[in-house]
Amino acid sequence: MRRTLAALCIFATPAFAQEPPNVVVDIAPIRSLVAQIMEGVGTPSQIIPTGASPHGYAMRPSEARALSNADLVVWVGPALTYWLEEPLETLAPDAEHLTLMALGGSKELPMREAEILEASHEDDHADHDHDKEHKEEGHDDHAGHDHDQEHKDEGHDDHAGHDDHAGHGHEQEHKDEGHDDHAGHEDHAGHGHAHHGTIDPHSWLSPSNAVLWAGVISQKLGEIDPANVQTYAANWENLNAEVRTLEADLNAMLTPYRDTPFLVLHDAFSYFEETFGVEAEAFVIAGDGATPGPARVQALREHLADNPVTCAFTAPQENESLLRTATEGQDVRVAVLDPLGDGETSYATFMRTFATAMVDCFEGR
């Protein structure tokens, strides 16, 4: 009898010790989203460490091992980390791949080109008929703001969709998100460099994207791990409520500064700018991380001399020497804005920290 009970206990043990899904993410803010959805079940692994730039990174063996053991990989997409496409296929071919920017309903903003500065400078100080091509490119560069209404509508659609999400009602819309991941690769030929010229990849700074993505992550985890589907759904509901409150709070915080000019070292904040009505006067490094040449920096210095800014924002992942060069001799406050965060706090906390750092600089704190 004793041997029978022992055998039954051994046989039953795996059912009571089910491991949570192995989830791997690319960057810290996506880890924040996934960790909130997995709260009470498990924690995700992160490939690109805090403080490293996602635009180019060589994985360490430990990160490659985590990827090879993944049940689910959640990443922004090749527009941000084109170099991750091949490891995903070779190291995690059997895992589910969730490419967030490929999800239907995700807000996309166009990449702002360096010519916005030259074009703006030209319009202010030269003949409007001079270099018409540059002038037209300038308007294209501001397309992210010219399309404000379109994207605001999309933002409401994102939230509206989640009002119906109580039972994960987006199932049909996102049924094929795994296939979208691979279909998206066709649009990113050349390992994403061409895509860098069209779509800004820093899309996690849009709260509506965060809510949409978290809902799909919750659904996908529920499919992989049905035993915890209710936990994932409840965690998404909590995150949704937090982000709705966040948007209202940050709108109130930033409204007084919507006409405050500022400079950014790396053009990574356009989704945040579009959401909360603030707008950078200029940037030093383009959104794809391409380093500007001397002529570009000189044009920027001339532009800032005629269009002074209150604050210039650097980031922990960037070398701020170019920012110092561009603002040398000008009365500009320099502050740090981290577009990635540490991945350890909630998404709402990460965004509050980001906005608070911006306002502190505007107010001279």
The answer to the question of residue 15 being in a domain is no
Domain boundary at 200, 229, 251, which? 251
Same domain, 48 and 99: yes
Span 182-189, average pLDDT: 34
Same domain, 161 and 310: no
> What is the amino acid identity at position 352?
R
Say yes or no to pLDDT of 155 above 90: no
Rounded-to-integer distance, Cα 64 and Cα 42, Å = 20
The answer to the question of residue 14 being in a domain is no
CATH number at residue 119: 3.40.50.1980
Band (pLDDT 50/70/90 cuts) for residue 65 is very high
- Judged by average pLDDT, the poorest of 37-46, 185-194, 306-315, 326-335 is 185-194
Span 73-95, average pLDDT: 95
Q: What percent of the chain has pLDDT over 90?
A: 62
Burial of 26-60, coded b for 16+ CB within 10 Å and e otherwise, reads bbbbbbbbbbbbbbebbebbbbbebebebbebebe
- Judged by average pLDDT, the poorest of 168-177, 195-204, 225-234, 285-294 is 168-177
The answer to the question of residue 79 being in a domain is yes
Same domain, 68 and 167: yes
Q: How many domains, the chain?
A: 2
Span 168-182, average pLDDT: 39
Band (pLDDT 50/70/90 cuts) for residue 56 is confident
Span 216-242, average pLDDT: 98
Say yes or no to pLDDT of 29 above 50: yes
- Judged by average pLDDT, the poorest of 171-175, 299-303, 313-317, 322-326 is 171-175
Same domain, 77 and 126: no
pLDDT for position 287? 82
Cβ neighbours of 20 (radius 10 Å): 17
pLDDT for position 317? 83
Say yes or no to pLDDT of 311 above 80: yes
Same domain, 103 and 200: yes
Quick check: helix, strand or coil at residue 39? Answer: coil
The answer to the question of residue 2 being in a domain is no
Domain boundary at 217, 236, 251, which? 251
- Residue whose pair of structure tokens reads 């949409």 in the numeric block: 212
What is the extent of the structural domain holding 277? 115-146+254-362
What is the pTM assigned to this prediction?
Answer: 0.74
Say yes or no to pLDDT of 105 above 50: yes
Comparing 109 with 330, the larger pLDDT belongs to 109
Q: 3-state secondary structure string, 46-99?
A: ECCCCCCCCCCCCCCHHHHHHHHCCCEEEECCCCCCHHHHHHHHHHCCCCEEEE
Extract the tokens encoding 114.
Answer: 């360096």
pLDDT for position 182? 36
Rounded-to-integer distance, Cα 282 and Cα 89, Å = 38
Chain Cα centroid distance, residue 95: 22
pLDDT for position 114? 64
pLDDT for position 118? 43
Say yes or no to pLDDT of 264 above 90: yes
Say yes or no to pLDDT of 73 above 70: yes
Span 102-126, average pLDDT: 67
Residue 333 phi/psi, 5-degree rounding, is: -85, 135
Domain boundary at 221, 251, 281, which? 251
Say yes or no to pLDDT of 143 above 90: no
